[in-house]
């Protein structure tokens, strides 16, 4: 859990921005997540921040394998064995909270979408992959990251109920995943308000600008 918190709190966007001479907390939407990195630093660096934020969530989720016995590791196969699910959820949740409230960024952070994606891709791969596909489709049609994130978060509890891994902790995965989806939605309340006002800018194309998410 401590490792997850440490990994999650790494403010990838903030540090990369500073290395490039830009402060994401003072530019664009003032958010240190991948979307603002895209706006302020450009598509390449935005994509890199997204991958890094997702990777730290994934690494946190599979970190229990580091201390697991050879028997448990062998039982895990492609996915995590049931014995590792509680510790994976704890480490993953710590990573998500660390990302959202990073002490390295004044206890501010991103919306948690990329890090949550990484965490649950490691724990519940199938429903998470479907949710990511929904995110891509909504973003492609709307050109707004927030619409993709909000739509995927709203559907994620249903996807978990449908395709969460079977086992003794299936219900726990559904409950924790649903709680994280709700937290992501809460973090998007400013975006929801802008969407209702018609003031949420697209990430690219006509109407795009350096503010929003």
Q: Report the domain count for the chain.
A: 1
Distances (CA, A) of 113 to 37, 39, 120, 122, 136: 14, 17, 11, 14, 13
Establish if 92 belongs to a structural domain. yes
Distances (CA, A) of 68 to 64, 76, 165, 173: 6, 10, 20, 20
Establish if 27 belongs to a structural domain. yes
Q: Which two tokens stand for residue 185?
A: 């939605």
Establish if 210 belongs to a structural domain. no
- pTM, 2 dp: 0.92
Query: Which stretch of DSSP H or E encloses residue 63?
Result: none
Establish if 123 belongs to a structural domain. yes
Beta-carbon contacts of 95 under 8 Å, excluding residues fewer than 6 positions away, are: 4, 5, 7, 8, 56, 57, 60, 61, 115, 118, 119
Angle, helix 34-41 to helix 43-62, in steps of 10 degrees? 160
Residuewise pLDDT in 10s, the chain (213 residues):
788 999 999 999 999 999 999 999 999 888 999 999 999 999 999 999 999 999 999 999 999 988 777 776 666 655 688 889 999 999 999 999 999 999 999 999 999 999 999 999 999 999 999 999 999 999 999 999 999 999 999 999 999 999 999 999 999 999 999 999 999 999 999 999 999 999 998 988 776 764 433
The residue range of the domain holding 103 is 2-197
Establish if 208 belongs to a structural domain. no
């Amino acid at each position: 859990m401590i490792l997850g918190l440490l990994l999650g709190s790494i403010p990838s966007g903030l540090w990369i921005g500073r290395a490039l001479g830009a402060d994401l907390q003072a530019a664009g939407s003032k958010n240190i997540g991948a979307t603002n990195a895209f706006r302020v630093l450009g598509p390449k660096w935005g994509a890199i921040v997204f991958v890094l934020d997702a990777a730290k969530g994934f690494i946190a989720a599979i970190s229990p394998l580091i201390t697991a016995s050879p028997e448990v590791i062998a039982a895990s196969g492609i996915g995590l064995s049931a014995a590792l699910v509680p510790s994976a959820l704890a480490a993953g949740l710590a990573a998500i909270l660390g990302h959202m409230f990073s002490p390295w960024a004044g206890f501010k952070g991103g919306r948690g979408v990329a890090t949550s994606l990484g965490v649950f891709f490691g724990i519940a791969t199938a429903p998470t992959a479907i949710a990511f596909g929904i995110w891509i489709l909504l973003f492609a049609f709307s050109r707004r990251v927030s619409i993709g994130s909000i739509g995927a978060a709203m559907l994620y509890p249903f996807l978990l109920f449908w395709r969460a891994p079977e086992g003794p902790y299936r219900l726990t995965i559904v409950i924790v995943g649903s709680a994280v989806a709700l937290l992501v939605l809460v973090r998007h309340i400013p975006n929801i308000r802008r969407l209702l006002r018609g003031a949420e800018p697209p990430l690219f194309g006509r109407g795009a600008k350096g503010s929003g998410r």
